[in-house]
Amino acid sequence: MTLCSRRFDEKIVIVTGGATGIGRAVAMRLATEGASVVIADVNSEFGTTTEQGVRNAGGQSQFIRCDVSRSSDVQTMVDTVMARHGRIDVLVNNAGIPGPLVPIDQLAEADWERVLSINLGGVFHCTRYALPGLLASGAGAMVNIASTFGMVGAPNTPAYAAAKGGVIALTRQLAVDLGSRGIRVNAVSPGYVDNDMDQRRDRMTPEAAAANLASREATASLQPLGRLGDVGEIAAVIAFLASDEASFITGAVVPVDGGCTAFFNLGHRQASDGKFEDSPTGHPRLRPSSGR
Ligand SMILES: NC(=O)c1ccc[n+]([C@@H]2O[C@H](COP(=O)([O-])OP(=O)(O)OC[C@H]3O[C@@H](n4cnc5c(N)ncnc54)[C@H](O)[C@@H]3O)[C@@H](O)[C@H]2O)c1
């Protein structure tokens, strides 16, 4: 993509979970538009690779190892940024993990706590410690990464759904509390993205990894746009919300999901000619009976 825009010239940006996936795409995008990007992530290997990738593309970046669920890590990361730059213009709270796909009676307490402490606790810690830097900016902006699973129910994701629902509520709450202090707070809610979240497929056999991808593609094919999203399509909306072009937007939760939360899918797939046909993956109980 050729970008002419320099909406983030001189801006200091923190992207949590910026080592891979959506966060990496955000780091690359904002750096391409002029930002100095801090990549805060637990993954040092991919974090330094992304830091170098941004620099190779002509941008400015710094990787800081940080576990967002640990307040001491977050405090040190923010202190490092403030000592170097004296302010924070944009905070993208993106770090997250999926957690196990199990019903609540099979969910271990430790997994519940881990998912909540990273996906929701991380947003709390980063916001709390970055707040003085965002206030020092004079026009600070936050973008939190939620999920469609925080907006509607999906099978077997109780901890992830609770955490992402919490991110959405916290986004609105912070927009209310921080608007008068000059800080905008919004959320992006991605749908199925063409990305191996948490690098799960790396730990599977090739057959299981292929089946996992096929299953995600099959689910995505049921959505109105009928495909997985690209990380760049999520990053583009995050960049807009973080930029001055969105100067009158706060408290918004923007679905970037191919229309899946707009669609009450009764187990039908839409063919390329626009006609609906029964989907083999559709829930049989949701299929309308004949004559109704
Ligand atoms: N991929 C999807 O389909 C999808 C859909 C909806 C929402 N999301 C959300 O988008 C965000 C990014 O996910 P992704 O798909 O790019 O996944 P990803 O696994 O590629 O990226 C997540 C990043 O967060 C980092 N991370 C994990 N735990 C951390 C911690 N404790 N502290 C700091 N960094 C940590 C990982 O190292 C990784 O770099 C997540 O919040 C996720 O919930 C993803």
> Mutation test of ligand 1: which of 26, 42, 67, 149 has the most ligand atoms closer than 8 Å to its C-beta?
42
Cβ of 76: how many Cβ atoms within 10 Å?
A: 15
Determine whether the shortest distance from the Cβ of 38 to ligand 1 is under 6 A: no
Model pTM score: 0.92
User: How close are the terminal C-alpha atoms of the chain, in Å?
Assistant: 48
Measured by CA distance, the residue closest to atom 37 of ligand 1 is 43
3-state secondary structure of 63: strand
Determine whether the shortest distance from the Cβ of 195 to ligand 1 is under 6 A: yes
CA–CA separation, 273 vs 73, rounded Å? Answer: 53
Q: Bridge partners of 92?
A: 15, 143
What residue ranges do the domains of the chain occupy? 12-193+229-258
CA–CA separation, 290 vs 183, rounded Å? Answer: 53
Nearest to 10 by CA among 66, 49, 60, 56: 60
Whether 160 is catalytic is yes
Q: How many helices (H) and strands (E) does the chain have?
A: 8, 9
From the CA atom positions of the chain, what is the Rg in Å?
A: 20
Q: How far is CA 119 from CA 89, 110, 158, 192, 275, in A?
A: 22, 14, 13, 17, 39
Q: What is the Cα 265 distance to its own chain's centre?
A: 24
pLDDT along the chain (292 residues), means of 10: 80 98 98 98 97 97 98 98 98 97 97 98 98 98 98 95 98 98 98 80 86 87 92 98 98 97 77 64 44 36
How is residue 243 written in tokens?
Answer: 């930029």
pLDDT of residue 124: 98
Determine whether the shortest distance from the Cβ of 68 to ligand 1 is under 6 A: yes
Measured in residues, the chain has a length of 292
Determine whether the shortest distance from the Cβ of 168 to ligand 1 is under 6 A: no
3-state secondary structure of 183: coil
CB 27 within 8 A of CB 37: yes
DSSP of 265-280? --SEEE-TTS-EEE-T
CB 166 within 8 A of CB 268: no
pLDDT of residue 212: 84
CATH number of 12-193+229-258: 3.40.50.720
pLDDT of residue 113: 98
Determine whether the shortest distance from the Cβ of 16 to ligand 1 is under 6 A: yes
Measured by CA distance, the residue closest to atom 2 of ligand 1 is 193
pLDDT of residue 270: 65
What is the bridge-based pairing of β-strands 60-65 and 90-93?
A: unpaired
Cβ of 29: how many Cβ atoms within 10 Å?
A: 24
pLDDT of residue 195: 81
What ligand 1 atom has the least distance to the C-alpha of 145? 41
CA–CA separation, 15 vs 40, rounded Å? Answer: 6
CB 38 within 8 A of CB 64: yes
CA–CA separation, 285 vs 282, rounded Å? Answer: 9
pLDDT of residue 198: 65
Tokens 């606790």 appear where?
A: 121
pLDDT of residue 204: 86
CB 272 within 8 A of CB 36: no
pLDDT of residue 276: 65
pLDDT of residue 278: 61
Q: Provide the sign of the torsion angle of the four alpha carbons 132, 135, 136, 137, taken in this order.
A: positive
CB 229 within 8 A of CB 191: yes
What ligand 1 atom has the least distance to the C-alpha of 98? 43
Of 8, 46, 63, 160, the catalytic one is 160
